[in-house]
A and B are shown apart, each in its own frame.
Chain A
Amino acid sequence: MSPKAAEKFFRSESRYRMLVENSCDIVFSLDMDGNIAYVSPAWQKILGHEPSEVIGHNFVEFVNPEDIAGIQTMVAAVIRTNSMQEATYRVNHVDGSWRWHTARVNRHRDDDGVQTIFGTAHDATERLHIEELMTQSEKMAMISGMAAGMAHEINNPLGAILQHAQNIERRVSADIPANVKAAAEVGVSLDLVHAYMQKRGIFDFIGHIRTAGIKASGIISNMLQFSRRSDAGAELVDLSAFLDKVLELAGTDYDMKKKYDFHRIELQRLYADNLPPVLLVVAGMEQVLLNIIKNAAQALTGGELPHQPRITVRTQVAEGMAAIEIEDNGSGMDEKTRQRIFEPFFTTKEIGVGTGLGLSVAYEIITKGHHGLIDVRSKLGRGSCFTIKLPLQGRA
């Protein structure tokens, strides 16, 4: 089309209308109070509402309360600077979920002086999600390096604590000839030294040093998972049978039975029946799923939850990946918590209940050990859903 022809084409209003109505982006106009005067058909395609549910309503009725201030700031800036402005906010889909939208708006004044806000908006949910996953993986890469380095530095002093405690015990034993000889040289009886230490509980103290050291070493070895990258030991596994086994394991776990009333929780299994075998490092994946199930059980224990507590385990095949979803209808979490749960030592639980390592280890095992993805959706007061995606053979 020549420039001249184009100009003629665009001058006609009906053609403008055609462009607007066929646009993938939402085109909208609002009065200066924010009431919606017009939305293009893309609104219904993207968000699902009938035009009658939208026209005449105030725009902010559809916006997440946390994002309304941002929109007001944008409109104020449009009016002040008389230029195009951009904002990103969450709008309500007809199914109740929130979608991230990015809008560009400007002000228009017609010949009679009537002012209108008009703009376009598109769905940015997917892009923002991918950005979040990328920041997440950079953050985790940095933390992994730190954790592995720290774990290594701590192992030597920890070894010294554990082993010297053991040396102390042995240096008062009469079984070792050198002890007997040294005791005779300084003129004490080893039996009496032994009896004294027993009476004053010193052997118990030494035992406690060792128990504490072994516990610390357990935490460190969890942290060292961060430097484990190989998928050594992976085998092809039938996912349904594997999940059944893990659920059974969860049911026999002492903590789960005693502290979290696991038997009270309804277990729903929705397994896909067309699942090909999946390549798993069995011990690692067991640890991941047990952590997630334990978290779910914990989220179903706190406070008085009126409903029937339930954990749903779902599998499906999508886009060359096998997906495992573990959903609970427990406490859920707010957005700030959700963004941090994969960080090592991030916990909202009381000291002694959680160390905050469960999900960070899960993250490493899934992403490094299985070249998979792990992600979470959650709604405060409603529940959480963890999704693990694992590459299927030949398509990784």
Chain B
Amino acid sequence: MTNSAITVLLVDDDDMIRECVTAYLEDEGFSVYAYATAEQALESIAAISPVVCISDMRLPGMNGEDFIVKAHTLSPVTRYMLHTGMLYSLSDELRFIGMKDDDVMLKPIHNLSKLVENIKHIAVVGRF
């Protein structure tokens, strides 16, 4: 699958993080939609139906964990990833919808090529 075929939805309340991750992913050819809150992302996710969705954990309002559980009901084909500053182990609910330990990425990501690698990996796995 080429990168341009992979739509990525990004949720992070930090403007700088949204900006730099979006820039990198767009340079790599992905189509990126970025939102500052879980609530905004939930309004659009069904229509966009992204291949991959990356969410921050600590968000104003709904947190990343609850967001993913809800988003999964609206867009079940999407593969989900968490991008978090806290050490975090996956809840049973997130495991149940198919998330793995590798789908949790710790902030700060030193090299965004690692994120790209993970996105491509789960995008492919998601097809099976």
Q: A residues within 8 Å of B by Cβ? A: 148, 151-152, 155-164, 166-167, 170-171, 176, 178, 210, 213-214, 217, 221, 224, 227-228, 230, 232
Contacts and interface: CB of A to CB of B under 8 A. Distances in A.
Contact of B20 (A148, A151, A160, A213): A160
B66 interface: no
Contacts of A166: 24, 111-112
Interface stretch (B40-48, B74-82, B85-93): B85-93
Contacts of A151: 85
B34 to A, nearest CB: 14
A167 B23 contact: yes
A169 B110 CA distance: 14
Nearest to A164: B20
Interface of B: 14, 16-17, 19-21, 23-24, 26-27, 58, 85-87, 89, 106-112
Contacts of B89: 230, 232
Contacts of B112: 163, 166
Contact of B107 (A159, A176, A214, A227): A159
Contacts of A161: 108
Contacts, number: 68
18 contacts: A155-B108, A156-B108, A159-B109, A160-B16, A160-B19, A162-B109, A162-B110, A163-B17, A163-B24, A163-B112, A166-B111, A167-B20, A167-B24, A178-B27, A213-B108, A214-B110, A224-B86, A228-B87
A210 B58 CA distance: 25
Contact of A156 (B17, B23, B24): B17
Contacts of A158: 107-108
A156 B20 contact: no
A230 B107 CA distance: 20
> Which of A161, A166, A221, A227 has the most chain B CB within a 10 Å cutoff?
A166
B108 A217 contact: yes
> Which of A152, A156, A214 has the most chain B CB within a 10 Å cutoff?
A156
Given A159-B107, A163-B109, A152 B85 contact: yes
B87 A162 contact: no
A172 to B, nearest CB: 11
A254 to B, nearest CB: 22
> Which of B58, B89, B106 has the most chain A CB within a 10 Å cutoff?
B106
Given A167-B23, A167-B24, A157 B16 contact: yes
A152 B86 contact: yes
B20 A171 contact: no
A171 B23 CA distance: 9
Contact of A227 (B87, B106, B109, B110): B87
A155 B107 contact: yes
A358 B112 CA distance: 30
A148 to B, nearest CB: 8
In order of increasing CB-CB distance, the 7 nearest A-B pairs are A159-B108, A160-B16, A155-B85, A163-B20, A155-B107, A152-B85, A156-B14
A167 B87 contact: no
B14 to A, nearest CB: 5
Contacts of A167: 20, 23-24, 27
A159 B87 contact: no
A163 B86 contact: no
A256 B23 CA distance: 43
A163 B21 contact: yes
B110 A217 contact: yes
A214 B21 CA distance: 17
B27 A159 contact: no
Contacts of B21: 163
Contacts of B24: 163, 166-167, 170
Contact of A162 (B14, B19, B26, B108): B108
Nearest to B85: A155
Contacts of B26: 178
